[in-house]
Amino acid sequence: MMNRVNSNDLTPAPRTSDVEQLAVELLERLKYRIGKDPKVAKPHDWLTAAILVARDRITDAWMDSTRRTYATGAKRVYYLSLEFLIGRLMRDAMTNIGIMEEMRQALASLGVDIDVIAELEPDAALGNGGLGRLAACFMESMATVDVPAYGYGIRYVHGLFRQQMADGWQVELPETWLAHGNPWEFERRESSYEIGYGGVVETINIGEDKQRFVWKPAERVIATAYDTPAVGWRAKRVNTLRLWAANPIDPILLEAFNAGDHIGALKESNKAESLTRVLYPADATPAGQELRLRQEFFFCSASLQDILRRHLQQYPDFTSLPDAVAIQLNDTHPAVSVAELVRLLSDVHGLDFDTAWDISRRTFSYTNHTLLPEALESWPVPLFERLLPRHMQIVYAINAKILLQARKEKDFEDQRIRSISLIEESGERRVRMGNLAFVGSHSINGVSALHTELMKETVFADLHKLYPDRINNKTNGITPRRWLMQCNPGLFNLIREAIGDAFMDDAEALTALDAFADDRDFQERFAAIKRENKNRLANLVGSRMGVRIDPTAMFDIQIKRIHEYKRQLLNIIEAVALYDQIRSHPELDWTPRVKLFAGKAAPSYHNAKLIIKLANDVARVINNDPAVRGLLKVVFVPNYNVSLAEIMVPAADLSEQISTAGMEASGTGNMKFALNGALTIGTLDGANVEMRDHVGEENIVIFGMTAEEVATVRAEGHNPRAIIEQSKELSQALAAISSGVFSPDDRTRFTGLVDGIYNHDWFMVAADFDAYAKAQREVDGIWNDKTSWYSKTIRNTARMGWFSSDRTIRQYAKEIWRA
């Protein structure tokens, strides 16, 4: 039997005085900050009041953290990221400062349900997926482990689009999270900086062999800071998320307005505001590419100017910058910072080029998130030179140093020189931002052990030969406060009752839960919590989509950005094959299963949007076929965001992590699912490899080719047609999809998708299908033995503590930042 801790000892009951004080503060904020009488206050008024009460308490710790950093001279970390997928903050903040239950009771005493108003908080969709959510987890963990830090990004007005479905097709609508303001943030008017574009570079001779360069931009905008406190667990430290908004220097051209050109008079305002209007504007057009580059330079330049200003408040010059400052580039989006810091140090602050370059390189470090060459940003040289003429000169100067060093010290031949060059010479000449980030940083890290080794062998093979000591690994992690404590309180409380509170401060203490994996009583309670979470998701699906799903069925969930390498298509094809088998063999004992998908496709990514349509078309047919008898359902849940993930992750029985081996850098969804007691079905890709090592081979279902095997097959020639013809289930499923069984209104709709599998199968869908289908039947077998199932899933939860972002940040701090 389970050895329970006395539940009365777990959480001290909120003191009446604390609850009463919070109630007083709520009424005060409601009256004086919102201007409402409690009798007429609406739920959104109470939400704002509650946030302001929490924010005011956080601000005390925030200011104390800042004072401590100045007093101790602690090294600061600056995390530059184009994405921060922070989601809702209220529960996160109140939990971390320890007032969640008191606030619940205080609101209840005033007739307000905290769960109702919490649902009204906008979901800050300032990111696209794992990279942005990682940045948000890192901000929380940096504060938790007491690393002084700023996160720098863009205050997008609309963020990532809101996804709706129209006849199964994705429709993009603007996300309006800022429509009614953001009570968490503080505007910092004093932290405003000019950002330039275009213009000319003047050369001034200041000696016989010395020159000074002066960039005179043709356009300027103002970047203004908005600060949000990032509070760590138990409020040990509060750091700052600083997001930049863009404003014109002249908001209205008054002469044009008075002349009757009312639209043209606002062109400067519109041009400036477009910089922060939308996350990831489509870059399929030259105008879209230019806007993306403008966005990236805008936030990088503002952030670096801010960093240098702050440094000079404490230090006499910039020789100490690498000792006092660590700047982490989150992927290639902020890579233009390398050239901009050299420009600021040399052109603005008067350092010679070599000194500026040395300081810059020792200050920056770079996290790579992808092995896909097309995802390593590059910009056409004419665009880069027109928009950032001085930076183009600096890129060429850096390139000259690197290439001369490679020739002289490493005897690189022409092919390797072309590989490491900052300028792509084959075809259109482009500036390679991945190479710029690499040469401009003292540390380059991958985000899983496999990904890091593949970096050395593929995208950065020759740069690794030139700088063999720079690449290192920092496997990603997730914050257990958001992804267990808050999103799954039932499981969190069960764990506390079983093993005590140590895991709340050290996630690796979860290993104590291993002792309960085979305890029948604990398994029953674990299963009951899972069922409650599944009921909640079933209710959401029913209310949003009108689809009834059975919480007793296996919930098989794949939620992530829609991309061909993530292989939602493989999952859908297997669903079609399973559908055929259930209809053909009704006498067999099929495992009831609900396949749930969620995720957004980039607006210009045709195949990804077609995969969403296929999922919805397949769902319509399967879900309405009486021959299936409810044994299989397929659901695509629209508008995937952090809040939806917080409902879907705790409800998952099976976690789909099935990317083409060698193409997923790490993944963090895999960690969230396993921590919440789901079994993983996956390839040996990204962090799945390390997850297998931690949870044990017997507690994860691995299938398919390895990254090495995928590379070999591609190199030697892949014949998917032969594989398809040998697989009865696969060939029948592809035939059904291609012939229009699921698209009777347009029978050729999915022909192109299927032809891609037959003709090249770059993402190894056909190659891995039979192994995947076999692994799914293995999952069925485990599911049908509930004792075995819960033993494995409890061990997943118990052994996931290592994947805490606290551990990741401690490794960054010790091995890269020296913070």
Which two tokens mark 154?
Answer: 């863009």
DSSP label at 318? S
Opening angle at CA 492, ends 487 and 498, nearest 5: 170
Max Cα–Cα distance, the chain, nearest Å: 92
Q: Rounded CA gap, 291 and 152, in Å?
A: 19
Strand, helix or coil for residue 336? coil
Q: Which of 224, 668, 793, 808 is an active site residue?
A: 668
DSSP 3-state helix, strand, coil percentages of the chain (rounded to 5)? Answer: 55, 15, 30
Specify whether 668 is catalytic. yes
Q: Rounded CA gap, 640 and 236, in Å?
A: 32
Residues 6 or more apart whose Cβ sits within 8 Å of residue 188: 224, 225, 226, 227, 242
Q: Which of 55, 292, 451, 560 is an active site residue?
A: 560
Which amino acid, one-letter code, is at 696?
Answer: G
Specify whether 236 is catalytic. no
CB 487 within 8 A of CB 676: yes
CB 471 within 8 A of CB 444: yes
Cα-Cα end-to-end distance for the chain = 46
3 state SS for 649-661 = HHHCCEEEECCCC
Specify whether 672 is catalytic. yes
Specify whether 267 is catalytic. no
* Whole-number Cα distances in Å, 794 to 447, 492, 517, 651, 677: 26, 12, 5, 14, 6
Specify whether 600 is catalytic. no
Q: Which of 566, 633, 694, 799 is an active site residue?
A: 566
Which residue in 742, 549, 560, 548 sits closest to 655, CA to CA? 560
Q: Rounded CA gap, 208 and 460, in Å?
A: 40
Q: How many CA atoms lie within 13 A of 415 on its CB side?
A: 1
Alpha carbon of residue 304 to chain centroid: 23
Q: Rounded CA gap, 154 and 159, in Å?
A: 9
Alpha carbon of residue 80 to chain centroid: 13
Which residue in 519, 626, 525, 553 sits closest to 780, CA to CA? 553
Specify whether 180 is catalytic. no
Q: Could you write out the DSSP letters of every residue in 355-375?
A: HHHHHHHHHEEEE-----GGG
Q: Rounded CA gap, 386 and 376, in Å?
A: 21
Question: What are the residue numbers of the active site?
Answer: 369, 560-561, 566, 668, 672
